């Protein structure tokens, strides 16, 4: 009953077919948050792509200017000469075969896995476990690198990865609802502009069809794209 009442209050006077200015949408989401935890601001972007065509799928990595507010556990699989680089930049788990053995047992205690190129052959045997979870290191995402220090630093400071799903939609968490409004707007604009730069050459016409933001437990509000440019 309480949840139904909260839901009713949340959607009161909301026009669902309206296109909101970012500031107005954020104000509504902040005002109507009724949960007892700090919600994440989620963005969903509908792309004008054919996800069945490999060359039209998009994925990438970006460092949001104000971070995500999320505590990220970073694991690093590397050779001995890179261990200090990982530990001195606050990697949560550093090792080699020992981490791979834990993954084989499906004992995964990290959100991001970074590896040096020389360790990728060993990681091949757990690719079927890591791949579906989106945890397999990838050079295009900066998670296969010899520059362990920079990669760990970026991951800990609010770096996010993105890719479209089968429906051609990109989802991402771009901050916590208790961030200052201007910080969330800056993150949203940065995400939008970075996504535009990832437009595949084979996509013709409008690339971004619709931008919607919502809090973890809140409603989705469509955003005026012109205000994000």
Residues 174 and 63: beta-carbon distance below 8 Å: no
* Rounded Cα distance, 56 and 49, in Å: 6
Quote the tokens at residue 220: 């989705």
**Is the pLDDT reported for residue 2 higher than 70?**
no
Q: What span, in angstroms and rounded, lies between the C-alpha atoms of 156 and 178?
A: 19
pTM recorded for the entire structure = 0.77
How confident is the model at residue 1, as a pLDDT?
42
- % of the chain beyond a pLDDT of 70: 94
**Sequential DSSP letters for 76-144:** EE--GGGHHHHHHTT-SEEESHHHHHHHHTT----SEEEE-GGGHHHHGGGHHHHGGGT-S--GGGT-B
Mean pLDDT of 163-188: 95
Residue found by looking up tokens 């970073």 in the block: 74
Domains of the chain: 15-68+159-228 (3.30.190.20), 74-156 (3.40.50.790)
Q: How confident is the model at residue 11, as a pLDDT? A: 66
Rg (CA), the chain: 20
């Amino acid at each position: 009953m309480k949840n139904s009442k909260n839901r009713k209050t949340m959607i009161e006077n909301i026009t669902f077919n309206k296109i909101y200015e970012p500031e107005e949408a954020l104000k509504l989401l902040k005002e109507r948050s009724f949960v007892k935890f700090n919600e994440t601001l989620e963005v969903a972007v509908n792309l004008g792509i054919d996800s069945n065509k490999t060359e039209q799928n998009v994925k990438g990595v970006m460092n949001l200017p104000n971070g995500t507010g999320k505590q990220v556990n970073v694991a690093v699989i590397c050779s001995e000469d890179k261990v200090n680089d990982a530990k001195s930049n606050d990697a949560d788990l550093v090792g080699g075969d020992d981490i791979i053995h834990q993954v084989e047992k499906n004992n995964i205690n990290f959100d991001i896995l970074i590896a040096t190129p020389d360790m990728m052959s060993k990681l091949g045997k757990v690719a079927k476990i890591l791949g579906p979870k989106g945890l397999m290191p990838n050079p295009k995402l900066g998670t296969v690198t010899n520059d362990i220090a920079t990669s760990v630093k970026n991951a800990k400071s609010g770096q996010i990865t993105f890719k479209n799903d089968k429906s051609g939609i990109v989802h991402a968490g771009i901050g916590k609802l208790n961030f200052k409004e201007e910080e969330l707007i800056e993150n949203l604009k940065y995400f939008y502009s970075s996504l535009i730069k990832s437009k595949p050459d084979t996509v013709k016409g409008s690339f971004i069809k619709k931008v919607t933001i919502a809090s973890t437990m809140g409603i989705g509000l469509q955003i005026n794209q012109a205000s994000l440019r």
